[in-house]
Amino acid sequence: MFCVFNAKTAELISHHQVEINQSFPKEGWVEEDPKEIMQSVYECMERTCEKLCQLNIDVANIKAVGVTNQRETTLVWDKETGEPLYNAIGQCNIDQKHHIWLDLRTQSTVESLINKAPGRNKNHLKHKTGLPISTYFSAVKLRWLLDYVDEVHQAVLSKRAMFGTVDSWIIWCLTGGRNGGVHCTDVSNASRTMLFNIHTMDWDPELCRYFDVPMEILPKVKSSSEIYGWMVSPDNPHSLHSLTKSSSLAGVPISGCLGDQSAALVGQMCFKEGQAKNTYGTGCFLLRNTGTKPVMSDHGLLTTVAYKLGKDEPACYALEGSVAIAGAVVRWLKDNMGIVQSSEEIEKLAAAAGTSYGCYFVPAFSGLYAPYWEPSARGIICGLTQFTNRNHLAFAALEAVCFQTREILDAMNQDSGVPLTQLQVDGGMTSNRLLMQLQADILCIPVVRPTMSETTALGAAMAAGAAEGVHVWSLSPCHLPHVTSENYEPQINPDESEFRFARWKKAVQKAMNWETTEPFYNTNGTQLLLH
């Protein structure tokens, strides 16, 4: 997606979006074509520029470009040829049949890395990285590429390899690629690799030795708001088929870079310590600004770098909690169970019920993320009676999203010692008004939803516009644009909220330890492999 904003009002002027295909070469693997990623970037930029021309807006008014990306997706490419050496390895996604996939190819790599740690402690590196050793983060995927992809191994030996997350690949390509492209990333993306020391704010030699990653393939770490380079025409514009204006933005500085969840935090203008936002998509990502000192979690949360808005500005940190299944539970009800015909229908069904009638749904389809980090958990629906119908299940599914968010928020309140007074929200699911009201009721605090939904893109644009040498956007509190929002106030008694939450916690305990390594058999005696 490419979005153009008004730097004074934060109004979204125009945008264009293209879907990127995902491939699934093996069960539990998810990949994207790096060339297709770049083609989609060029197409979105050019189509948006065409729309601006139709609005009689001069494309020359675009003063800077920012980049935001899915943080942990991992690439390695050849700096001499400009060719990717393997597909981008992704993370939690949905395949064409809308099942949940977590790229699990690195599970054995994770086990060997944990075995290296004293006491086989998965949190052995957390004091430097803020993260547990997990399949989720980039260093583990990079280690897999080095071990199992000969092209990557050979390129490293011959000093031709470049590693990066998607932001690095995009910036390198947009600034010239093999003809002088800038190889960099920002602190928010670097902090999700497990190779970055969140205290020194740089790649850490000890961490690189632990993962056996050569430091020379890593991008240069920069702040989230500074000029990294300038846009150039692509090497081969003919590869963009009908796109003839591939140099529309040539010469425009690229001056903002943020991982997607950090970008949403900035776009929600959560610049004060204690402010938090929750993004409701396939899963949920709740980030709380903890200021200029990292807060280490004792309750299953991640410590991450939120942003560094300028070379000479301090880094700000965040506590983060992830919910694996949010919007994906609606997709499951639609595609797997046929309970709803469209994602929009769930709100009508749930509203018709008005209650779950004692039914609780724990959608732990691929285990539970924060605060449990329990891969053995599996989905469960409790409290069914003969009276239960699909309306109650729809209500329970929406409540499940809210309960999972409540668990993370409680953990954050315990870690920080200061209870949150309101939650700012964004993402596709926030258009569901019943969900937003349920969330306020279950949290017992107001939920605030901006009327402009593209807060992640806005955050990248703000970082780009505020960079030194651009200065078209001020991030000082008195100059921040006013973004209209919709507030949802709690409407139920706190005692009722606590009762429902306690019942949910009871259901969660019943969902634990369901995964089994024992074989399953169908009715004709054929063994089924379930993973």
- More confident of the two residues 121 and 262: 262
Contact predicate 225/467, CB 8 Å: yes
| Full-model pTM | 0.89
pLDDT digits (tens, 9 = 90+) for 75-124: 999 999 999 999 999 764 433 333 334 566 888 888 899 999 898 888 89
What pLDDT is stored for residue 523 in this prediction? 60
> Which residue blocks in 417-527 are alpha helix, DSSP H?
433-443, 455-465, 494-511
What pLDDT is stored for residue 241 in this prediction? 39
At residue 172 the predicted structure's pLDDT band, cuts being 50, 70 and 90, is very high
Lowest mean pLDDT among 15-19, 195-199, 346-350, 513-517: 513-517
Mean pLDDT of 499-510: 96
Rounded CA-CA distance 524/399 in Å is 39
What pLDDT is stored for residue 243 in this prediction? 39
Domains located in the chain, CATH noted: 268-511 (3.30.420.40)
pLDDT digits (tens, 9 = 90+) for 12-70: 999 999 988 887 878 778 889 999 999 999 999 999 999 999 999 999 999 999 999 98
Q: How far is CA 209 from the centre of its chain?
A: 27
Does residue 94 sit in helix, strand or coil? strand
Rounded CA-CA distance 169/34 in Å is 8
What pLDDT is stored for residue 102 in this prediction? 55
What pLDDT is stored for residue 238 in this prediction? 41
Phi, psi (degrees; rounded to nearest 5) at 491: -125, 5
Distances from the Cα of 181 to the Cα of 164, 201, 228, 233, angstroms: 13, 23, 10, 12
Mean pLDDT of 411-440: 94
At residue 245 the predicted structure's pLDDT band, cuts being 50, 70 and 90, is very low
What pLDDT is stored for residue 94 in this prediction? 39
pLDDT digits (tens, 9 = 90+) for 301-322: 999 999 999 999 999 999 999 8
Structure tokens at 382: 């409790």
Q: If you average pLDDT over every residue of the chain, what do you get?
A: 90
Rounded CA-CA distance 175/184 in Å is 11
What pLDDT is stored for residue 247 in this prediction? 66
What pLDDT is stored for residue 135 in this prediction? 82
Residue 467: closest CA among 252, 310, 316: 310
Rounded CA-CA distance 256/79 in Å is 23
Contact predicate 261/424, CB 8 Å: no
Distances from the Cα of 368 to the Cα of 105, 134, 231, 348, angstroms: 19, 13, 42, 28
Rounded CA-CA distance 417/402 in Å is 22
Q: How far is CA 333 from the centre of its chain?
A: 23
What pLDDT is stored for residue 367 in this prediction? 83
